Amino acid sequence: MIYGVKRVTKYLLGIDIAGRDLAVYPDDTFIVSYPRSGNTWTRFLVANLIHSGQPVTFDNIERLIPDCEAQSSRYLKRVARPRIIKSHSYFDPRYPRVIYIVRDPRDVALSYYDFSRKYRHFDDSYPLQRYIEDFVAGRLLSADWGTWAENVASWAFARAARPGFLLLRYEDMQVRPEQELTRIAEFFGIDASPERLQTAIESSSAERMRKMERTQGKDWVSTKNKRDDIPFIRTAVAGGWKEKLPPESVAEIESAWGSIMAPLGYELVTQGVGRVEPPLAAAAGFVVGKQRE
């Protein structure tokens, strides 16, 4: 009952979290990904690219590119249009324009494990291997976003090759940030000079973001009141799973999601899992190989 009253009051005051109830405008652009897939980095890249006059920080990022799953409906209504909004939502047909970032789920799982401990979803004694089992089976809080495969596949399959949908791989952004940021700039209709791209990339470096997390992390909505011995900005590298993930866990992930991973260009190491015929994979609108042409 008290819970109900609280909800109604929040709704009346417009301070309920927007989430899936967000009022979407036709000129909105969304930066979407599964959690722990480089969304914050992309947010900083985009904000630094578009607002090149001012340094983007954890203090102003919520104003520049608000998080619709952390901010209220009222807050989002007041953001200047056209809005760029950050989201982790599974496929939402209402989102008109979407940049979707996908990351190797083997790295996502590792990162999510640290993140969940930071958020005190469980304590350090929860073994990684059991975590992976629960992560894959969708038994954790993370499953509110769908499982990794559900979130990725629902977007990639529904919007594949459609105008207004840009699929990026975190790994490509790591290897060739200029090229990938150029694609982002084109998506926003910005003709960015190499200097502007370079400045945006440098202003969004992992090092700089780590420094900001140390000084501003206490106030930022995503890090406030969370454990500060585990960083939000973690390794910022691709392939950490090769060293840190037990082979059983790798097999667990690949046997569940291999058929989605392979067409996205993530090489499977477990024998006999998710084999995909190249011509079919090439026919897929979201095959990342296309970008390598």
Partner 1 sequence: MIRYLVEGIKRACGLHSPGRNLAILPDDIFLVSYPKSGNTWARFLIANFLYPGQHPDWGNIDRLIPAPEVMSKRDFEKMPRPRVIRTHDAFNPRYKQVIYIVRDPRDVALSQYHHHRKRKLIEDNHPFESFLPRFLAGETNVHGSWKQNVASWLAARNGDPKFLLLRYEDMLLDTPRELSRIGGFLGVEATPERLSMAIEHSSPKEMRRLEQVQADDCGLTKGTRQDLPFVRTAKSGNWRSDMPESSVAAIETAWGSLMQFLGYELAFGDQAGPVESAFPVSAMGGPLR
The piece of 142-150, 183-191, 230-238, 265-273 that touches partner 1 (CB under 8 A) is 142-150
Nearer to partner 1, 59 or 186 (CB): 186
Task: Work out which of 63, 119, 126, 154 binds partner 1, going by CB under 8 A.
Answer: 154
Return the C-alpha torsion angle 196, 197, 198, 204, nearest 10: 110
> Exposed, middle or buried by CB within 10 Å (0-12, 13-18, 19+), for 208?
middle
DSSP string covering 205-224, please?
-HHHHHHHHHHHTTTSTTTT
Q: What share of the chain is helix, strand, coil (3-state, %, to 5)?
A: 50, 10, 40
Peptide bond preceding 82: is omega within 30 degrees of 0, i.e. cis? yes
Does 145 bind partner 1 (CB under 8 A)? Our answer is yes
Task: Work out which of 17, 70, 236, 276 binds partner 1, going by CB under 8 A.
Answer: 276
Task: Work out which of 173, 251, 287, 288 binds partner 1, going by CB under 8 A.
Answer: 287
Helix intervals (H) in 17-127: 39-50, 61-64, 73-77, 105-118
Does 149 bind partner 1 (CB under 8 A)? Our answer is yes
Does 18 bind partner 1 (CB under 8 A)? Our answer is no
Alpha-carbon torsion 65, 66, 69, 74, what sign?
Answer: negative
* CB 9 to partner 1: min, Å: 8
* CB 23 to partner 1: min, Å: 13
The piece of 116-124, 186-194, 208-216, 283-291 that touches partner 1 (CB under 8 A) is 283-291
Which residues, listed in sequence order, are joined to residue 72 by a DSSP beta bridge?
Answer: 17
Task: Work out which of 56, 65, 284, 288 binds partner 1, going by CB under 8 A.
Answer: 284
Does 167 bind partner 1 (CB under 8 A)? Our answer is no
Distance CA 12, CA 204 (A): 38
Q: What residues line the site for partner 1 (CB under 8 A)? A: 4-5, 7-8, 11-12, 20-21, 90-94, 138, 143-147, 149-151, 153-162, 259-260, 262-263, 276-277, 280-281, 283-287
